Amino acid sequence: MAERKRLVAGNWKMNSGRADGLALARGVAERARAPHRCDLLVCPPFTLLAMVGKALAGSGVALGGQDCHPSPSGAFTGCISAEMLKDAGCSHALVGHSERRHTCGETDADVRAKTEAAWRAGLVAIVCVGETRAGREAGQAREIVCGQIAGSIPDGATAEQLIVAYEPVWAIGTGLTPTTADIAEIHAAIRGELPAGTRILYGGSVNPKNAAEILALEEVDGALVGGASLKADDFWAIAEACG
């Protein structure tokens, strides 16, 4: 089986303006000059893509969008297409983040269409899945996540075009994380549904303190980091936790 190089990805969410975004991007690019064992990606807000892309040029740190519309262009006020992300210098697009599934009402079918759009534009799709607290407490985490995988990933996926991020909704921004045994169990279940070699990231309250333990798990191929990606030192500490 192909080696799965780990990926540490920062999802800046709806944070940063030009000044702090530029400082953060430069801080990441600067640190990425040091030897490291993982791929690196940052996903700033759309307004900063061009500027951050410029700051990252030559650093090896990839640029991603936080979402994309299924259509390539058209009368969709306020939306950004996968083709636009590609044109702005992105190589990756996050799709199906729980904050979009839950606050924007996105369904598995929507996420599937966005994944297809990302592939059409030549982007790697990072498909996010994860159970709610109620789902976890009902003992249904595995079924929920596998159901989201089945509904959100189009036929014909390849390990080159697809990354999955397991982000339990209750762990996002809360400081709570599943046990390492729970993470390993869900990742193994997800892996059974995917083409060989597909990378599976863990996301949800990853920080410099817990990163090494999580990233040491055989089934964890990297991290999708929210809050801690807004500080270059913390983001870099997580990257260094890859060994």
Indicate if 187 belongs to the active site: no
Q: What is the spatial distance between Cα 227 and Cα 167, in angstroms, rounded to a whole number? A: 14
Pick between residue 83 and residue 126 the one whose CB is nearest to ligand 13P.
126
Among 137, 173, 216, 233, binds ligand 13P (CB under 6 A): 173
Task: Find tokens 């700033």 and name the residue.
Answer: 44
Residues in the interface with ligand 13P (CB under 6 A) total 14
Pick between residue 43 and residue 83 the one whose CB is nearest to ligand 13P.
43
Amino acid identity, position 161: Q
Is the torsion defined by CA of 126, 132, 137, 142 positive or negative? negative
Instruction: Show the binding pattern over residues 188-207: x = contacts ligand 13P (CB under 6 A), - = does not.
Output: ---------------xxxx-
Annotated catalytic residue within 83, 99, 106, 167: 167
Give the residue ranges of DSSP H helices in 57-193: 82-87, 98-103, 108-120, 133-137, 141-152, 180-191
CB of 224 to ligand 13P, least distance (A): 5
Task: Find tokens 């260094």 and name the residue.
Answer: 240
Indicate if 167 belongs to the active site: yes
Q: Contact between 176 and ligand 13P (CB under 6 A)?
A: no
Q: Contact between 63 and ligand 13P (CB under 6 A)?
A: no
Q: Contact between 239 and ligand 13P (CB under 6 A)?
A: no
At residue 105, φ and ψ (nearest 5 deg) are 70, 25
CB of 234 to ligand 13P, least distance (A): 10
Annotated catalytic residue within 69, 83, 92, 97: 97
Binding to ligand 13P, residues 210-229 (CB under 6 A): 224-228
Q: Where are the beta strands (DSSP E) in the chain?
A: 7-11, 39-43, 62-65, 92-95, 124-129, 162-166, 199-203, 222-225
Pick between residue 38 and residue 206 the one whose CB is nearest to ligand 13P.
206
Q: Contact between 93 and ligand 13P (CB under 6 A)?
A: no
162: Cβ contacts below 8 Å, ≥ 6 apart: 115, 124, 125, 127, 153, 194, 195, 198
Q: Looking at beta carbons, which residue is closest to ligand 13P?
A: 226
Name the site residues for ligand 13P (rule: CB under 6 A): 11, 97, 167, 172-173, 203-206, 224-228
Positions marked catalytic: 97, 167
